[in-house]
Chains A and B, each alone.
Chain A
Amino acid sequence: MKYVGKSVTRVDGIKKVTGDLKYVDDLKMPGMLYAAVKRSPYPHAKIININIEEAIKLPGVKVVTTGKDFPKRVGLYLADKTFMAVDKVRYRGEAVAAVAAETKEIAEEAISLIKVDYEELPIVSNVLDAIKEDAPLIHPNLGEYKHAPIFHTLPGTNISEHFKLRKGDVELAFEQADFILESEFYVPHIQHCPIENHSAIAQFDREGRLTVWASCQSPYAVRAALADAFKIPSHKLRVISPSVGGGFGAKAGTTLEGIIIPLAMKTKGRPVKLTYSREDEFNNSYVRQAMYATFKTGVMKDGKIVALKSNFIWDGGAYTEYGVNIAKSAGFAAAGPYDVENIHCDSYAVYTNNPVGGPYRGFGMSEIHFGIEQNMDIISEKLKIDPIEIRKLNAHKPGGRTATNALVDDACGLIDCINKVINDIEYHKPSQQPKEDYKVRAKGFACGMKAPSMPNNAASSAIIRINEDGSAYLSVSAQDIGQGSDTALTQIAAEILTIPPENISINTGDTAHNPYEWQTVASRITYSAGNAIIKACEDIKEQLFHLASIKLGIFPRDLQLEEGFVRSSIYPNKRIPIKDLALGLSMEDGSAVHGPLIGRGTFIPENIRNFDMDTGLADNPVVFWTYGCYGVEIEIDTQTGNIKVLKVASCFDVGKAINPDLVKAQCEGAIVQGIGSAIFEEIIMQNGRFMNPSFMDYKIPTANDIPEMLVSYVENRQKDGPFGARGMAEPAMIPAAPAIASAFYNATGIRVKELPLTPERVVKALKNHKILNKK
């Protein structure tokens, strides 16, 4: 292949290194107004009254809105939220009113003039309290909320999703098991921290057309949510996402767009902009949900796991429109990448008065694997079986069964990945110890897996137009949020059309001009949009062959594309350039046929079926599973508690790397983000208050925190993937925290049950245990 499988240089490089690329907050428009938001100082309170009189009188203020202007509940999977609070606030920082004014300063001053009377309600700040029978209800009307039929809400409780997985007979298996082990783990709230904060602009014209410029991953999903909330026909609602300064899930849904639209509806056509500060971003975009996990595992003497009973309790925060699906995803992946015959898992999405949970790279998998993988280490230690061997013994392998009893297909390369990483990190060779006696080094290992968790009908489409010079436009609504989809998708089109990537311009991010894409999430874009593009290219090819066969007098079946020409596969010198057919075929008598070449491709995964509502079992519930693992080496300063991750080897089965450099770049970014979640990152919540909403006190890794990275991949073809590719950018982060925790155990003999491994937590753990002396 000429372009696929090659490390083609990013197509978006120049505009990004020059500062030319405009992000939403860089846009200025004539007459633009600026919004500011009044936010709740209480985590749980009734709104008694909102007085906007003083605010509206302030010169320069154009509009003031409150939640009552649009009280309709909306949500991706569960319609439990309004864009601004109506009657009641459910987390500290929830929007209660908004202002549009001539300047940001005036808008902010107006906000300070809005007076809100609240009646405080008892708060539910801990998810374990939230599931108690007498817990205050955060959504008493949960039973009335609309939701996708695949979810199971429990009205009258704080549980908005209960996913049950019931496979085999765990109780019987526990009776037969040689050993039974129990463990529990906790993962705190963290945040995505894209360097670009959320920003949106809304403009509403007199024809009732709404245009929204938003820093969002999924323009069509934003359109759907906004059309529903504000009763605007889809053809009159245009969502433009000019560029996205990092997403990681944070920009997958709708957040601030819904706050400015009611304002824009009353500004007589003047656009309204709202850009979050970093503090807003921390408090009011999504967070990754905190989660408690418990595991009870039945194991045979030879290391085979025969039974697993687990509980995942997710702190979904005030609204779980997205969180319900994370709980579900955790449930159907309950055993991780291991083949276990008897599984009983309950996964709950639970309301609390904490910040709103949402999708974050890994979508529940990083969280559950923290426990699953450490549980494997615990078993390995108990049985005195090498941790790698016990994983290999239980690992998903072709012909095996997943937790939902689906067949593991031939494309599962987990064992290949394990072998590669063990070799790269020299897992079985002890670390060389540093000279300082207070420092200790050790290695750790963990596996991970993930499937896209999405509706079965999550579709993609692509349109290709051939220009008269033989160049092409590729139009899709996959968003390049940094992952490099513009480049990889261009390569796919280039490969089939035999047009070099530099002669293809990709257009994205505008629902008025580019065709449907469900969402840029779930590591599904290369797979799904890639497949749509292949079909669009095939469509172009068919048209080209039809015209060329007339021109050349050769059957279409004997034609092929090569270097921008349609040529006979039998008579190589019989050929015609693509450009000569771009606008149709002109005959010798001057007449013409067909007209411009437009290729159309649509894709929807086939035969993906629902989980059984009672057992959670399903024979084909997801499009693919991506497997992989990490080997790490860390150094602990046992006195200060600081951990340095020295080396990470990672390997994932990517099916086919469309662009090897981009695949590796995703792995590198994932490793460093994963390190952040393992040793630095934690939202510190105190009674519903986010205590560290700044980069001063929420630390993410810098360039000086990165390890040596040995990144590799294996390629076991995805049978329905474009050129065999499957998604990998989210899976690439999953094993980070458990691998580091495993290394920590190997260094100290202490099993950490809670993240992150901050210096203070490390010191406390070491003080409470007798440290193994390395010498």
Chain B
Amino acid sequence: MKGFKYYKPQSLKEASELLKEYNGEAHILNGGTDLIIRMKENFLHPKAVVDIKHIPGLHAITFDKEDGLRIGACLSLGTIAHHRDVVENFPIIADSAEVVGSGQIRNRATLVGNICNASPLADTATPLLALDAEVIIYSPNGTKLISIHHFFKGVRKNCLNVGEIVTGIKIPYSKNLKGAFKKGSRRQDVDLSTVCTSVVKINDEIRIALGAVAPTPIRGKMAEAFAKGKNLTHETITEIAKIAVAEASPIDDVRSSKEYRLHMVEVLVTRSLEELKV
């Protein structure tokens, strides 16, 4: 790992100023499970690393029905996956957090980090997309909320400007939320998703989010539109899944062929809908 300056700011303002000072050549350090690998393997060599874990206020989960669920930036996936508010009200988020890496990874890695990396196959991105989550961003001009739908800009690209810091995620609460997170992988545990999906049903509305099938995690809008108001019969489900497949544009890589990924979209969406219809 090449050398860099390490900062441990005590406030968002301080952190943000550091990031601006380095003008894109500083990297935020949160759980570090992705950043440190990328630095060790020479994909990244930032001049400075800004550790945000000592900034107060980034370690909380809050929940009420009006405001929804707020997950602080520095909470580990392991904590999130087992947090009562998450497990009881947003099990789909807990399920997705529970399958990222190993237990050791989940004790360090964070949900916000998983999102900020903007990997197309981020497991936790799909439930957030399906739940219309908002990303809470500190910017020098004040805090702003950006829809998760506008957050991802490409493979490993997010919408943050220099000096901006994601402080948390806000997820609206729905009383009648039912959801299913599914992951296809070569090995059952500690593996990257070949494809992952989150399908949620809120009253009569179906939402479908897909990971590892496009440069960013995506929503299957056409499939959702088709599903709207329909009874989830076996035939309808088959059709919805087929439309979702048509919305995916995966690549071939060492983990899977494009064909298998498309096949998996169909399988996972179908299975999710079969689960949700009951």
Establish whether A and B are touching in the complex (CB under 8 Å): yes
Contact A640/B184 with A704-B189, A763-B260, A763-B263 known, Cβ cut-off 8 Å: yes
Contact A699/B260 with A640-B267, A684-B254 known, Cβ cut-off 8 Å: no
Q: Bound state CA distance, A640 and B187, in angstroms?
A: 12
Residues of chain B lying within 8 A (CB to CB) of residue A697: 254-255
Residue A639 at the chain B interface, CB threshold 8 Å: yes
CB contact between B260 and one of A684, A702, A760 (< 8 Å): that residue? A760
Residue B213 at the chain A interface, CB threshold 8 Å: no
Residue A696 at the chain B interface, CB threshold 8 Å: yes
Residues of chain A lying within 8 A (CB to CB) of residue B189: 702, 704-705
- Chain A nearest CB from B83 CB (Å) reads 23
Contact residues, B173-229 vs A (CB, 8 A): 184, 186-192, 194
Contact residues, B258-273 vs A (CB, 8 A): 260, 263-264, 267, 271
Residues of chain A lying within 8 A (CB to CB) of residue B187: 680, 699, 701-702, 705
Q: Bound state CA distance, A642 and B185, in angstroms?
A: 8
Q: Bound state CA distance, A627 and B54, in angstroms?
A: 61
Residue B23 at the chain A interface, CB threshold 8 Å: no
Q: Bound state CA distance, A684 and B253, in angstroms?
A: 11
Q: Bound state CA distance, A691 and B254, in angstroms?
A: 7
Closest residue of B by beta carbon distance from A696: B192
Secondary structure dominating the interface of B:
loop
Interface size class of B (residues with CB under 8 A): 10 to 19
- Chain B nearest CB from A276 CB (Å) reads 15
Closest residue of A by beta carbon distance from B268: A640
Q: Bound state CA distance, A691 and B194, in angstroms?
A: 16
* Contact (Cβ within 8 A) A758 B186: yes
Residue B161 at the chain A interface, CB threshold 8 Å: no
Residue A615 at the chain B interface, CB threshold 8 Å: no
Residue B158 at the chain A interface, CB threshold 8 Å: no
Residue B257 at the chain A interface, CB threshold 8 Å: yes
- Chain B nearest CB from A660 CB (Å) reads 31
* Contact (Cβ within 8 A) A699 B263: no
* Contact (Cβ within 8 A) A642 B267: no
Residues of chain B lying within 8 A (CB to CB) of residue A456: none
Residue B236 at the chain A interface, CB threshold 8 Å: no
Residues of chain A lying within 8 A (CB to CB) of residue B147: none
Residue A759 at the chain B interface, CB threshold 8 Å: yes
Residue A7 at the chain B interface, CB threshold 8 Å: no
Residue A471 at the chain B interface, CB threshold 8 Å: no
Q: Bound state CA distance, A702 and B101, in angstroms?
A: 13
Closest residue of B by beta carbon distance from A639: B267
Closest residue of B by beta carbon distance from A638: B267
Contact residues, B1-23 vs A (CB, 8 A): none
Q: Bound state CA distance, A701 and B186, in angstroms?
A: 11
Q: Bound state CA distance, A758 and B187, in angstroms?
A: 9
- Chain A nearest CB from B262 CB (Å) reads 11
Give the residue among A680, A684, A692, A699 with the most B Cβ atoms within 10 A.
A699
Q: Bound state CA distance, A704 and B257, in angstroms?
A: 25
Contact A640/B264 with A684-B254, A697-B255 known, Cβ cut-off 8 Å: yes
Give the residue among A639, A642, A691 with the most B Cβ atoms within 10 A.
A639
Contact A759/B186 with A639-B267, A640-B264, A699-B191 known, Cβ cut-off 8 Å: yes
Residues of chain B lying within 8 A (CB to CB) of residue A684: 254
Give the residue among B184, B186, B188, B190 with the most A Cβ atoms within 10 A.
B186
- Chain B nearest CB from A108 CB (Å) reads 10
Contact A759/B194 with A680-B186, A697-B255 known, Cβ cut-off 8 Å: yes
Q: Bound state CA distance, A764 and B260, in angstroms?
A: 8
- Chain B nearest CB from A103 CB (Å) reads 12
Mark interface residues in A206-217 (1 if CB within 8 Å of B CB, else 0).
000000000000
Contact residues, B52-83 vs A (CB, 8 A): none
Contact A699/B186 with A760-B257, A760-B260 known, Cβ cut-off 8 Å: yes
- Chain B nearest CB from A52 CB (Å) reads 22
* Contact (Cβ within 8 A) B188 A642: yes
Mark interface residues in A669-699 (1 if CB within 8 Å of B CB, else 0).
0000000000010001000000110001101
- Chain A nearest CB from B111 CB (Å) reads 21
Residue B256 at the chain A interface, CB threshold 8 Å: yes
Contact A759/B254 with A640-B264, A696-B192, A699-B191 known, Cβ cut-off 8 Å: no
- Chain B nearest CB from A703 CB (Å) reads 8
Q: Bound state CA distance, A696 and B190, in angstroms?
A: 9
Contact residues, A734-775 vs B (CB, 8 A): 758-760, 763-764
Q: Bound state CA distance, A692 and B256, in angstroms?
A: 12
Residues of chain B lying within 8 A (CB to CB) of residue A696: 192
Residues of chain A lying within 8 A (CB to CB) of residue B256: 760
CB contact between A759 and one of B184, B190, B192 (< 8 Å): that residue? B184
**23 A-B pairs in the complex with CB atoms less than 8 angstroms apart:** A639-B267, A639-B271, A640-B184, A680-B187, A684-B254, A691-B254, A697-B254, A699-B186, A699-B187, A701-B187, A702-B187, A702-B189, A704-B189, A705-B187, A705-B189, A759-B184, A759-B186, A759-B194, A759-B260, A760-B194, A760-B256, A760-B257, A760-B260
| Chain B positions near chain A (C-beta within 8 angstroms) | 184, 186-192, 194, 254-257, 260, 263-264, 267, 271
